[in-house]
Amino acid sequence: MTEKTISELTNQALNQTQFPQALSIAGSDSGGGAGMQADLKTIQERHVFATTVLVAVTAQNTLGVQDAFPLPTKIIDEQFASLDADLAIKACKTGMLADTEHVLDVVKNLKRYDFGPLTVDPVMIAKGGAPLLTHEAIATVRDALLPLATILTPNLPEAEALTGQTIDNDQDMQEAGKRLQALGAKNVIVKGGHEDDPKTASDYVLLEDGHSFWLRGPRVDTHNTHGTGDTLSACITAELAKGASIEEAIRIGKAYVSATIAQGIKVGHGHGPLNHWAVISEGVR
């Protein structure tokens, strides 16, 4: 084999491992608007190669969740091992994890394999109100998964469940951020999409170094917001896989989700999906 051929193969191998790759650990949404499907669409749109560990299968659409089936932990373990054996994953995220058994299994695998910074979207309830995490598993997420989180992205009901406090205003959101960080999450985004403010959507961000800021934007009058949490966390994960800083990834994630809502599409008869083809504003890569 010539020196040139060896060099070409080496460069090819480097290119294969350097191309940004991200991982979604979540449940599927047969309706395509949330869950792993939203993660795949988002990561792809952000020019990152998406990989998956499927934890559960749901039968759902824009009207709600009709059924859910967690997969055997054996096949979940095998998915993790398969990805680790071949791919160079630079960032990962969790979504729907179903129950205590599956949360603990995912935690076990995240400790075993290094897939880069972890974004935890503590999915508990679907947009239509169906539970996607058993009540007993909330404590497991809090005690076992949160300490692994590079970034935690709860909405208000999820933040309330994890902290045990009521959140009614900006001050409460700031306090919740501190409590969640004290539980082990390094960086926290408390999402204010469930607030009563009809004009402004506000998210509170508390970073590991103590720096904090608000991300505020106009609230769009629409029911087509199915999958916002999945999309935000997936976008953040994609940006981290590309080497963005924590703050930069969060700001891009917010800009992208805002665009997917503002540039909406009409699909289904209930809480419709986001427009993952949306173009974000100038100055945001």
* pLDDT tens-place string over residues 112-137: 999 999 999 999 988 777 888 999 99
Neighbours of 267 (CB within 10 A): 17
Considering only 60-64, 187-191, 212-216, 279-283, which range has the smallest mean pLDDT?
Answer: 279-283
> Which residues 6+ apart lie within 8 Å of 42 measured at CB?
230, 231, 234, 235, 238, 256, 276
Confidence of residue 1 (pLDDT cuts 50, 70, 90): very low
At 193 the pLDDT is: 73
Distances (CA, A) of 111 to 2, 76, 105, 208: 42, 14, 10, 21
pLDDT digit string, tens, across residues 201-217: 899 999 999 999 999 98
Q: pLDDT tens across 43-74, in order?
A: 999 999 999 999 999 999 999 999 999 999 99
Segment 180-197 shows an average pLDDT of: 88
Quick one: DSSP state of residue 273? B
Q: How many helices (H) and strands (E) does the chain have?
A: 9, 9
CB environment 38-55: b (16+ within 10 A), e (fewer) = bbbbbbebbebbbbbbbb
Q: Residue type for 212, please?
A: S
Helix or strand holding residue 214 (H, E): strand 212-218
pLDDT of residue 114: 98
CATH 3.40.1190.20 fits 20-262, yes or no: yes
Mean pLDDT, range 137-156, rounded to an integer:
97
For the residues 249-253, what does the mean pLDDT come to? 97
Give the pLDDT score at 125. Answer: 87
Helical (H) or strand (E) element with 55: strand 49-61
Per-chain mean pLDDT for the chain: 92
Which residue has better confidence, 253 or 281?
A: 253
Decide: 123 and 132 in contact? Cβ < 8 Å: yes
Q: So what's the pLDDT on residue 281?
A: 74
Q: Residue 12 above 60 pLDDT?
A: no
Length of the chain: 285
Q: What is the DSSP letter of 33?
A: S
Per-residue confidence (pLDDT) for residue 18, from 0 to 100: 82
Query: Nearest-CA neighbor of 162 among 215, 115, 121, 221?
Result: 121
pLDDT tens string 84-106: 999 999 999 999 999 999 999 99
For the cut 90, the answer to whether the pLDDT of residue 235 exceeds it is yes
Whether residue 98 contacts residue 68, with contact meaning beta carbons closer than 8 Å, is answered with yes
- Give the per-residue pLDDT at 199: 82
- In which residue are the tokens 């075993």 written? 112
CA 51 to chain centre: 13
How far is residue 207's CA from residue 152's CA, in Å, rounded to a whole number? Answer: 10
Q: Is the pTM of this model over 0.75?
A: yes
Rounded Cα–Cα distance for residues 160 and 82 (Å): 36
Percent of the chain surpassing pLDDT 90: 84
Geometric angle at alpha carbon 250, from 25 and 95, rounded to 5°: 20
* Nearest by Cα to 30 from 48, 12, 57, 49: 57
